[in-house]
Structure 1
Amino acid sequence: MRRQTYSKWGIIISIILVIITVLSVFIFYPNHYVLSLQKQRTGQLLAYLPVKENTTFQIQYTHSVHLSGVSEYYQAKGNSLQPTKLVYEDTAIGMPSDAHGDDVFKMEDGKYIIEKSEHAKPFDELNLSVGQVRADHQIIYQNQSYLLKEFVGAGTDVIIDAKRLNRWQLWKGVSMLE
């Protein structure tokens, strides 16, 4: 009779361990690919946008000096952001007047365009100060626009990067889809 008692406890403990293992994998395995927005000084996750790997998104804003639109295009590749294109309306202060290296500079519909070479150096992260007055920084992904100051607050210095997060980490931030 004692043997059955030990067997029952052994089975119960084994089941509990399996459940704990499955829950741990479910919660802590990093399988959600996102663009994360973190506070620059602390690394605290403020918001995230679920994206598909190897897809393009853009950061759009109004330039602070000449008050015209700027669109920066990136492709999220692994843990890096590959610049693909820059579109802007004025070559004044802070904007390039020509392309470098293998990049292509052209003008279409009154806008300057720099198409980045496939050899352009990818970024591990982008550092951005979310505009307080006119900039209206936005991430545009799959024809949806996400105004950054609504998610992280105007004037916040953020790091934008592409990475895989687990559910525990996602619970600490704000999904930009909600």
Structure 2
Amino acid sequence: MDHQRRLRAVVAVSVVLLLAVGGAAATSLPAGQALVVETADSGDELLRVPVEENTTVALEYTHSVEKTRVLDGYAVRGGELVMTRMEFQSYGWGLPARVNVSQENGSFVFDPDGSYEELYVKPGRIAGHELHVGDRTYDLVALSDANSVRIYIADRTLVEVALAMTRS
């Protein structure tokens, strides 16, 4: 009888340990990536969108002086945002004047260098900043109430993936 009691205790302790280790792993092991938008000052999360390698991410807005469209395009690569394209309709303050550009459909286009762990953006009501993630578009001005945001790629945990699957 004493042997059975010990066996049960060992099994119970083993189950508890497995659940604890499994729970810790589920909340800490990466299981994909997400694009995160948070407030720049307090770090409050405003948006978290699952992304994969090479997902297209873009910031689109109206240039404050020229009043023309600007699009900064990125791709998710290796946990960073790699700038892949810039489109603008006219040269103005802050736009590249000394790069080789081509023209496509009335816009100047070039492939800039740059890989970023994070981007800081000050969405403007007049500029109308939008964030494109894959085929979805988010109004950054409404999302942030026109306050500065930090955009970056974060690892998703097994728990986040499982919760997202239950919501779908």
Match of 1:154 in 2: 145
Match of 2:101 in 1: 105
Give the residue type in structure 2 aligned to 1:27. T
How many aligned positions are there? 163
Q: CA deviation at 1:167?
A: 6.0
Deviations 1:14-71 (A, max 9, x none): 1122122212222222323011112223334332221111232211111222221111
Q: 2-side partners of 1:54 and 1:150: how far apart?
A: 27
Q: 2-side partners of 1:109 and 1:44: how far apart?
A: 39
Match of 1:80 in 2: 80
Task: Label 1:167 to 1:150 Cα distance change in 2 as closer, same or farther (>3 A).
Answer: farther
Give the residue type in structure 2 aligned to 1:10. V
Q: 2-side partners of 1:96 and 1:121: how far apart?
A: 14
- Aligned-pair Cα RMSD in Å: 2.4
Query: Aligned residues: percent identity?
Result: 23
Match of 1:66 in 2: 66
User: TM-score, normalised on structure 1?
Assistant: 0.80
Match of 2:155 in 1: 164
Q: 1-side partners of 2:140 and 2:146: how far apart?
A: 10
Q: 1-side partners of 2:88 and 2:145: how far apart?
A: 23
User: TM-score, normalised on structure 2?
Assistant: 0.84
Deviations 1:104-132 (A, max 9, x none): 4112222111123xxx231221110122x
Contact 1:31 1:166 in 2 (8 A): yes
Deviations 1:55-97 (A, max 9, x none): 3221111122222111111111113211111001110222222
Give the residue type in structure 1 aligned to 2:114. K
Contact 1:125 1:161 in 2 (8 A): yes
Contact 1:138 1:146 in 2 (8 A): yes
Give the residue type in structure 2 aligned to 1:57. V
Find the residue that maps to 1:86 and give its secondary structure: strand
Give the residue type in structure 2 aligned to 1:125. E
Q: 1-side partners of 2:134 and 2:120: how far apart?
A: 22
Contact 1:129 1:156 in 2 (8 A): yes
Q: 1-side partners of 2:142 and 2:21: how far apart?
A: 37
Q: 1-side partners of 2:45 and 2:132: how far apart?
A: 20
5+ residue gaps, structure 2, are 161-167
Match of 1:31 in 2: 31
Match of 1:53 in 2: 53
